Amino acid sequence: MGNRQIILLVTPRSDQLASFEKALRSDTGVELITIGTAEEAIDAAVRLVPVMAIVDQRVPGGEALEIVQRLLSVNAFIHTAVLTDMDEALFHERSEGLGVLAGLPLRPDEKDAADLLAKLREMAPLG
């Protein structure tokens, strides 16, 4: 069995994302670390070299796509997903060029977690 891959969940709303977090944590190939601010996310991206960061729409210290840009500047290989209520076409337009793997609803569920991990596995091996 390989090492578990680190995924950062950058959100101040951990209490509202319990089922999503639980589904991610249940994957044996994943070590999920929940972080509350943009600065903590950047620091963790440098120290821990996560395979992915899931960034909430609004986080203390920045908005999702700005944080994604900052994460990519410290780790060009990090995969990202964003929790957003933005219209899909608008999200695609605004995130173009950032390589965001997925736009997820603001209240993602277990199926969203499974779908995201399946997309990630296409790009990078987990555990």
**In this predicted model, what pLDDT tens digit does every residue of 28-76 receive, in sequence order?**
999 999 999 999 999 999 999 999 999 999 999 999 999 999 999 999 9
Confidence of residue 102 (pLDDT cuts 50, 70, 90): very high
What distances in angstroms separate CA 93 from CA 88, 99, 103, one per listed residue? 9, 12, 12
> CA of 26: how far to CAs of 5, 23, 105, 106, in Å?
13, 5, 20, 20
pLDDT at 126 over 80: no
CA atoms within 13 A on the CB side of 125: 4
- Return the closest-CA partner of residue 82 out of 30, 25, 34, 66: 66
Average pLDDT score over the chain:
94
pLDDT band at 2 (very low <50, low <70, confident <90, very high): low
Residue 125 has pLDDT above 90, yes or no: no
pLDDT value of position 1? 42
